[in-house]
Amino acid sequence: MRLRTALPIAAVLPALLALSACSGESSDSGDKNPKASAQNTRSAEEKEAAEAKKLGALDTKQLEKVALTGKTAGFDAKKIAKAEVEAGRGMEADKKACQPLASLIGGFTHIPAVSEAHRSLQPLEATSATVGSMWLASHSEENAARVMKDLRAAVTACPKGFKTLGLTYGKVESLPAPKLGDEAVGYRITGDIGKQKVPMTYTVVREGGVIAAFYGVNMLDPEQAAIPEAVVKAQLDRL
């Protein structure tokens, strides 16, 4: 039975939900001054590189080089378009204690990172029902440790869920985390999408100042939704 064609939309569910908040924004992206735009891009890259060096973090170019790309451990990792990534930025929870969870649903850490790199994860086997995404966020090591501390506290503080962008996530439960990296957190959030319950599984690992977050969903068997540990380890080995 082929499952892949029926499931990819679930893999990018968080980003798609975030897009609903942006539907009223202007779509005019015309660049009337390409030279000025290029100069602004270079200036932004130089500023980011300087900040990254100061904090002992990785800038976007460095992070993109170490992010998984291509076929690894049964999944195909592909870069996500910037517009899709940015659609998830700024998701706010109705409960302050739950903000780390809401931010990760959007694809970002609640403490702004120096740089990020995002990938979609599609199974290589046509019969695999687990699909998802992953992203890396580079911080100072101090801020990365704080991200994990706050995330762990949020999982404990928000068992009955929260709301963001008018959407309800009715349940949060802790899951076993892999013994990888400097520390790791595992949890499942159940989203109420219309009349459907959508269990979303997260594995978040810190390696030094880099947060590696893996999101998985399996609409047939939520217990098999986590992105395999082999994929997580393959990414950590590149850092």
At 139-161, the pLDDT tens digits run 999 999 999 999 999 999 999 99
Q: What is the distance between the alpha carbons of residues 170 and 190, in angstroms, rounded to a whole number?
A: 6
Q: Provide Rg for the chain, Cα atoms.
A: 18
Residue 183 confidence (pLDDT): 98
CB contact set of 41 (below 8 Å; sequence gap of 6+): none
Q: Mind giving me the DSSP string for 80-99?
A: PPHHHHHTTTT--BSSGGGH
Closest Cα partner for 106 from 78, 80, 70, 138?
80
**Stated pTM of the model:** 0.84
Residue 194 confidence (pLDDT): 78
Residue 132 confidence (pLDDT): 94
Closest Cα partner for 136 from 236, 10, 41, 50?
236
Residue ranges of the chain with per-residue pLDDT less than 50: 1-13, 15-29
Residue 3 confidence (pLDDT): 41
Work out the burial of residue 16: count CB atoms within 10 Å of its CB; fewer than 13 is exposed, 13-18 middle, 19 or more buried.
Answer: middle
Q: What is the distance between the alpha carbons of residues 158 and 102, in angstroms, rounded to a whole number?
A: 11
